[in-house]
Structure 1
């Protein structure tokens, strides 16, 4: 059997706000709370993975890295810039306003955080 990650829980101050934030940056649709487990705000990343945001009192941020195609990368960076959202070229420099043009895992990379302290990394092959 091939092993794939089905979902992961992402802690948030406000689960629905966190799901909407990442959906907006990545150009995805957020469909609302889970129909049965209403304490989760799932965001479908692709056919195999969802991030299930969950409101917790004192969220500890996670680091989540995504390989994305160049068009998705460009759209996300444009969104971050248009909405004046902090982003940067490294995990320690995720607010410097730059994009890594020589990312160690791909051609380009960008980092940004959500209000709950989750740090997102997008990696593009070109």
Structure 2
């Protein structure tokens, strides 16, 4: 079941979601995308110690590239050379976008999970705990994957 605007459960308060943490896009041609984001748009590509620890192996293998906007929003490019066209089943990845992640205070993360569940929001994955923090992935009404994540306590 996808998210419904008729949900009647509790809601997060305005200001709980603090910022966009990162944006991830699936790309068919990694070299062309790296050129576009790095050379044409002039975004800084993360290299060496700047690469998030969870992505080091994927970056080294050429399967992920990371760029950062001047205000600190990271754009992750995931190489998907056999990218499929849109699919009505939201559990199948579709379009060029992977997911949009919102950052939240770690003290509010569990509450955010409760809010999603109380409103019968379809959960794609999680909650998950990683060295870089906690996250939960869920679908919007159109089947696009969103994430609420927080840094480690």
TM-score bucket of the superposed structures, by smaller chain = 0.3 to 0.5
| TM-score, scaled to structure 2 | 0.35
Q: TM-score, normalised by structure 1?
A: 0.41
Higher relative contact order (CA 8 A, sep 6+): 2
Indicate the structure (1 or 2) with the bigger Cα radius of gyration: 2
